[in-house]
């Protein structure tokens, strides 16, 4: 359903374009029950769940393939494939295809998640050292990396054209994904024995939970663009583009630099150092699980704080990203549990600030592209941090 022309209201002469925009603003429909926000939050949870499922089930994959460096291979394959796909999107794809990308990407997620447990049930059956299964799993992870690039790039690009609360919803949702998987990890560790059968059941739970969530995301995404509030913003964007004057176009490179720096620091420390170099005589193997949960919870808190207070000074935000380099020496001297929570909090808040601000620094017709470029910077940061983690900076 479209919105009435400003000229048709009151039967008077056609108002100028600026008045038409003001009138459209006055006629803005409500986001009833915050449904649009909830959908974007849910989609934010969804696009990271496949990766979280693979990486949380790494204990089972390491049991199946003991000679393979599962964690490192998974990280490199996923990041490199995702980065390559994003480059193709940035340079060759058309923005009008975003709706298709996201649906295709969500479908790819379902396939990649479904084949893993089916292959295990039909062929692997918990047997060790069937490395053809490992190669198929890595291939499916690469496929999920393509899906991630399509969904994450498309969603953040689309949110860049909307009011900042929808970008905040996506970023907060990505934090919620980590919390959801951490809760599942605690549940499976408490319920299932930590032997081969228990690890297998845990992996099944991660993958089938993610499959159900992907189906929900497909339904919600195809409902979202039909909401009156989303149709309103689409029409408002068209009008704004027509009225955009020749003004200085902002740049996202400094926001991108901040994002890269955030994840270089974070991934250099978490999860590698946290999971392999930190131990507790009291909590034993629960210590790692609780540290990861603490990080994910505070990452979600940080990403949610921008809904309450958004730091709008780009220089301060980017400077704060640089200051986070102090985490390297601090992790040697200070309590790990406290610093892990602080690492998650600053990661979440600064990521949310920069992802929200970057698309607003450019003209509206470039907002979608700037959002995709920021995802590109994000993946570069993730990949760089993962590589640096190999050298154990701390």
* CB burial readout 89-126, b (16+ within 10 A) else e: beeebebeebeebbbbbbebbbebbbbbbebbeeebee
Count the Cβ atoms, other than its own, within 10 Å of residue 376.
22
Contact criterion met (CB below 8 Å) for 114 and 145: no
State whether residue 300 is helix, strand or coil.
helix
pLDDT value of residue 90: 80
Tokens of 379: 């993946």
Tokens of 310: 């958004």
Between vectors from CA 62 to CA 60 and to CA 63, what angle results, nearest 5°?
A: 65
Listed as ranges, residues in the chain with pLDDT below 50 are 1-15, 246-248, 393-394
User: Using one digit for the tens of pLDDT, what is the confidence trace for 253-299?
Assistant: 999 999 999 999 998 888 777 666 667 778 888 888 898 899 999 99
Place of tokens 């940035």: 90
For the whole model, what pTM was predicted? 0.87
**Structural domains present in the chain:** 32-389 (1.20.1250.20)
User: Using one digit for the tens of pLDDT, what is the confidence trace for 47-64?
Assistant: 999 999 999 998 899 999
Sign of CA dihedral 266, 341, 294, 315: negative
Listed residue (363, 369, 361) closest to 243, CA to CA: 363
User: Using one digit for the tens of pLDDT, what is the confidence trace for 343-389?
Assistant: 999 999 999 999 999 998 888 778 888 998 999 999 999 888 877 87
Place of tokens 């949870």: 45
pLDDT value of residue 247: 44
pLDDT value of residue 13: 45
Q: Is the peptide bond before 301 cis (omega within 30 degrees of 0)?
A: no
């Amino acid at each position: 359903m479209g919105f009435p022309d400003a000229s048709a209201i009151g039967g008077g002469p056609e108002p100028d374009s600026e008045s038409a925009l003001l009138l459209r603003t006055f006629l803005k429909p409500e986001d009833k029950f915050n449904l649009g926000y909830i959908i974007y939050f849910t989609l934010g949870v969804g696009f990271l769940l496949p990766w979280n499922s693979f990486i949380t089930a790494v204990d089972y994959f390491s049991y199946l393939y003991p000679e393979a460096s599962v964690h490192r291979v998974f990280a490199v394959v996923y990041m490199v494939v995702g980065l390559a796909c994003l480059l193709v999107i940035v340079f060759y794809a058309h923005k009008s295809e975003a709706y298709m990308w996201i649906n295709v990407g969500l479908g790819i997620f379902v396939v990649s998640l479904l084949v893993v447990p089916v292959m295990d049930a039909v062929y692997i059956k918990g047997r060790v050292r069937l490395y053809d299964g490992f190669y198929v799993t890595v291939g499916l992870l690469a496929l999920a990396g393509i899906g991630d690039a399509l969904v994450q790039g498309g969603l953040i690009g689309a949110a860049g054209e909307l009011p900042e609360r929808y970008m905040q919803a996506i970023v907060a949702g990505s934090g919620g994904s980590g919390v959801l998987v951490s809760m599942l990890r605690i549940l499976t560790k408490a319920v299932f024995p930590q032997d081969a059968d228990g690890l297998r059941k845990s992996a099944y739970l991660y993958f089938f939970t993610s499959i159900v969530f992907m189906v929900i995301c497909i339904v919600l995404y195809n409902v979202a663009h039909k909401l009156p509030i989303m149709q309103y913003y689409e029409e408002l964007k068209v009008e704004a583009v027509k009225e955009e004057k020749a003004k200085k176009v902002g740049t996202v490179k400094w926001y991108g630099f901040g994002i890269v720096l955030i994840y270089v620091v974070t991934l250099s420390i978490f999860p590698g150092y946290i999971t392999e170099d930190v131990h507790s005589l009291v909590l034993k193997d629960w210590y790692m699980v609780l540290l990861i949960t603490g990080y994910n919870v505070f990452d979600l808190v940080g990403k949610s704080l921008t809904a309450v207070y958004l730091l709008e000074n780009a220089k301060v935000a980017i400077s704060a990203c640089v200051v986070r380099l102090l985490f390297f020496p601090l992790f040697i001297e200070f309590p790990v549990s406290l610093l892990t929570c602080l690492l998650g909090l600053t990661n979440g808040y600064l990521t949310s600030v920069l992802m929200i601000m970057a698309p607003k620094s450019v003209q509206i017709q470039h907002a979608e592209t700037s959002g995709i470029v920021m995802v590109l910077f994000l993946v570069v940061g993730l990949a760089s941090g993962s590589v640096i983690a190999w050298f154990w900076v701390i």
